[in-house]
């Protein structure tokens, strides 16, 4: 894709991250702003897709693997003085247990990727704290954030950092791979705030840091957003995250949470 096309995509922030299956997408029913905005940015793929990303160090970003499947045919995006900035990654590492067909074929997958930049991000970006403490349990509060659509199907509403206060739920029992969350008012059975188009790769906060990376969402019949939001827990994947970053000469900040 030529640079002019990347600039158009960044300027409009208009297309959801394409998967060929329902993706975790962006915050609907939430509010503008949210925690750790300086630790997040956007990830654009060669198909024109929009995702979110989490800053781990000046040269390393954590996102969802399905967002980074284009390899170095990605651009990291933010704005400076209102103008779009587009940076190509130096390298991309997909989790070895990522399965692009997992949703369609109902298989296990760890939907995480790390992106390395050749040059450091501007100083205004601060590394996020990843939580390596106890995993969120059903009924605990979490906050989901990202750059996706404010209303499902309205692609032009992407590009603004939004967040929503959700509650962890366990629709299929507790696990060490996925976190499920829902609007406490609807409990995942009635429409409410959730992830939606463009929020894949964004943070889910719990215990004072990033506990999971958004990967998928569900909605009422005929829709992809508004019921359950899903994320990949980071603590069980610490070995892969730290080992990959170490190969790049980078480190992540981990905390035990509050």
For tokens 């399905």, the residue is 66
User: Which residues touch 136 (CB under 8 Å, ≥6 apart)?
Assistant: 142, 168, 179, 206, 207, 211, 212
What's this model's pTM, rounded to 2 decimal places?
A: 0.89
Pick the CATH number of 3-25+38-128+237-251 from 2.40.10.10, 3.90.25.10, 2.70.98.10, 1.10.10.60: 2.40.10.10
pLDDT at residue 26 in the model: 53
pLDDT at 77 over 70: yes
Rounded Cα gap, residues 173 and 32, in angstroms? 32
Rounded Cα gap, residues 17 and 111, in angstroms? 14
pLDDT band at 139 (very low <50, low <70, confident <90, very high): very high
Rounded Cα gap, residues 135 and 117, in angstroms? 30
pLDDT at 19 over 50: no
Structure tokens at 194: 């959730």
pLDDT at 131 over 80: yes
Average pLDDT over residues 34-41: 96
Rounded Cα gap, residues 200 and 51, in angstroms? 5
Q: Are strands 129-131 and 253-255 parallel, antiparallel or unpaired?
A: parallel
pLDDT band at 27 (very low <50, low <70, confident <90, very high): confident
| Topology given in CATH for the domain delimited by 130-236 | Thrombin, subunit H (2.40.10)
pLDDT digits (tens, 9 = 90+) for 46-72: 777 889 999 999 999 999 999 997 666
pLDDT at residue 8 in the model: 39
Among candidates 25, 63, 28, 255, which has minimal Cα distance to 163? Answer: 28
First vs last Cα of the chain: how many Å apart? 44
pLDDT digits (tens, 9 = 90+) for 188-220: 888 889 999 899 999 999 999 999 999 999 999
User: Which residues touch 91 (CB under 8 Å, ≥6 apart)?
Assistant: 72, 115, 116, 248
User: Which residues touch 247 (CB under 8 Å, ≥6 apart)?
Assistant: none
Rounded Cα gap, residues 216 and 229, in angstroms? 6
Rounded Cα gap, residues 220 and 110, in angstroms? 25
Average pLDDT over residues 171-199: 87
Q: How many CB atoms lie within 10 A of CB 105?
A: 10
The full set of domain ranges for the chain reads 3-25+38-128+237-251, 130-236
Average pLDDT over residues 214-238: 93
Q: Name which of 106-110, 158-162, 200-204 the model is least confident about.
A: 106-110
């Amino acid at each position: 894709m030529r640079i002019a096309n990347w600039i158009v995509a960044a300027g409009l922030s208009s297309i959801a991250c394409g998967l060929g299956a329902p993706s975790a997408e962006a915050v609907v029913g939430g509010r503008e702003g949210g925690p750790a905005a300086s630790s997040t940015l956007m990830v654009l793929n060669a198909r024109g897709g929009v995702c979110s990303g989490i800053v781990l160090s000046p040269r390393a970003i954590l996102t969802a693997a399905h967002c980074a499947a284009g390899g170095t045919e990605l651009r990291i995006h933010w704005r400076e003085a209102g103008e779009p900035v587009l940076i190509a990654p130096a390298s991309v590492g997909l989790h070895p247990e990522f399965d692009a067909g997992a949703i369609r074929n109902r298989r296990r997958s760890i939907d995480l990727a790390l992106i390395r930049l050749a040059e450091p991000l501007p100083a205004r970006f601060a590394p996020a704290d990843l939580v390596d403490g106890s995993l969120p349990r059903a009924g605990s509060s979490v906050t989901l954030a990202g750059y996706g659509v404010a209303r499902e199907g309205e692609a032009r509403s992407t590009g603004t950092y939004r967040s929503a206060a959700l509650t962890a739920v366990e629709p299929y029992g507790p696990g060490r791979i996925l976190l499920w969350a829902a609007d406490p008012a609807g409990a995942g059975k009635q429409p409410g705030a959730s992830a939606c188009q463009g929020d894949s790769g964004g943070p889910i906060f719990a215990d004072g840091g990033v506990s999971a990376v958004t990967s998928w969402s569900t909605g009422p019949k005929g829709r992809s957003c508004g019921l359950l939001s899903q994320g990949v827990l980071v603590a069980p994947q610490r070995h892969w995250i730290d080992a990959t970053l170490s190969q790049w000469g980078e480190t992540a900040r981990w905390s035990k949470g509050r």
